[in-house]
Amino acid sequence: MTSFVVGAFEHPTRLARDKSTAMLHAEVAAGALADAGLNLSDIDGYFCAGDAPGVGPLSMVEYLGINPHFVDSSEIGGSSPIVHLQKAALAIDAGLCNVALITQAGRPRAEGDLPESAVRNANVPENGFELPYGLFLAASYALATKRHMYEYGTTSEQLAWIKVAISQHAQHNSNARLQTPVTLEEVLASPMIADPLHRLDCCVITDGGGAVIVAREEVARSLRRPLVKIKGADHAIGYQRGFDVDVTRTAGIASGRGAYHQAGLIPSDIQYLSTYDSFTATVLFAIEDLGFCEKGEGGRFVEHAGLLSGIGRLPVNTDGGGLCNNHPAHRGGITKVIETVRQLRGEAHPAVQVPNCTLAMSHGMGGVLGQRHGCATAIMERLS
């Protein structure tokens, strides 16, 4: 891949009562363009997913006033923006566009929307087999987590360490929804949502969004911005027949393998990880499936500040992640790319900036852990 991330912007709001969803998409697009030093007229590729209002990209292309040569509306839930990062790079390499805009935004908090509502109401083939038995979002994640505990001895305390570390990062983010660090005891004392997941094991609900801009190398080198190259990216779909009914494994095994292969790297090369954290268990599963430790060793990997920047073996979600900072439109994928770019540029908060960060990973998971889901993984490099 020869494409670069040249612009990144995260909307500062976490409650958008006075903005439409289309306006949020437009505002994050404007922020990313300003960050890159580009104009709307420079955009000739546009990528969005189901959070964008209208039919695919049709409404947003008109709303933004752009005339792209190439559009894409691939949808695999919260990991869609990372798939878009991969597809934008491929489109640029193929000569289909030169500068691609990716947006994600929504306002579920202002609308009082719950994460399960779309799944509960959708006319999808599996609902008749699952919904009568209560296998909703949190319950399915809890089922997979409980199985992991049974097979590998993982504990609620180990999961709580994930929240503790990420909350320590969030205190340095003035826009984070939850800015107060929490203790292990506070996580474990929070109300049970779906055994073994407590309230503080669950992500926040926020409005807002973000955008990134991907460009070919000639454009990137003309912009006077730090050079962040997409080294490798891949995505994969997971469902239980494909894993022989093993709910402790995700499609991240395949998406990670593909990204490493393209980049010519191995897990120990990665200095920073921005990973999906809809629940604490989502982080633990990703760390294992992306190869940072063996399957079943995730609990020991994350405990005792194992994910804390400056202390732990693998800094994770230094912006506060979905657990504390932002999970806009029930979809956290775009924020994973944005914080990865910040780290590689050296623009993260000084208290959490990884020293000399040159190789970092963004990883997303959309759908539902333990059921059908999609994972996307991208490795990026800071060039001198």
Closest by CA position to 194, among listed 5, 370, 380, 373: 370
Q: Provide φ and ψ at 111, rounded to 5°.
A: -90, -5
Q: How many C-beta neighbours within 10 Å does residue 271 have?
A: 18
Apex 115 CA angle, 103 and 7, nearest 5: 15
Residue 152 belongs to some domain of the structure: no
Q: How many C-beta neighbours within 10 Å does residue 2 have?
A: 12
Alpha-carbon distance 52 to 224, whole Å? 31
DSSP state string for 263-321? HT--GGG--EEEE--SBHHHHHHHHHHTTSS-TT-HHHHHTTTTTSTTTSSS-B-TT-I
Provide the CATH number for the domain around residue 247: 3.40.47.10
DSSP-derived secondary structure letter, 100: E
Residue 145 belongs to some domain of the structure: no
Residue 246 belongs to some domain of the structure: yes
The pLDDT tens digits along the chain (384 residues) read 789 999 999 999 999 999 999 999 999 999 999 999 999 999 999 999 999 999 989 999 999 999 999 999 999 999 999 999 999 999 999 999 999 999 999 999 999 877 765 555 567 787 777 777 777 789 999 999 999 999 999 999 999 999 999 999 999 999 999 999 999 999 999 999 999 999 999 999 999 999 999 999 999 999 989 999 999 999 999 876 645 678 999 999 999 999 999 999 999 999 999 999 999 999 999 999 999 999 999 999 999 999 999 999 999 999 999 999 999 999 999 999 999 999 999 999 999 999 999 999 999 999 888 888 999 999 999 997
SS3 of residue 228 by DSSP: strand
Residue 151 belongs to some domain of the structure: no
Alpha-carbon distance 239 to 315, whole Å? 29
Residue 231 belongs to some domain of the structure: yes
Alpha-carbon distance 112 to 102, whole Å? 26
Residue 195 belongs to some domain of the structure: no
Residue whose structure tokens are 């960050």: 35
The domain containing residue 370 runs over which residues? 3-112+203-383
Residue 46 belongs to some domain of the structure: yes
Alpha-carbon distance 238 to 222, whole Å? 40
Number of domains in the chain: 1
Residue whose structure tokens are 């994600």: 104
Residue 188 belongs to some domain of the structure: no
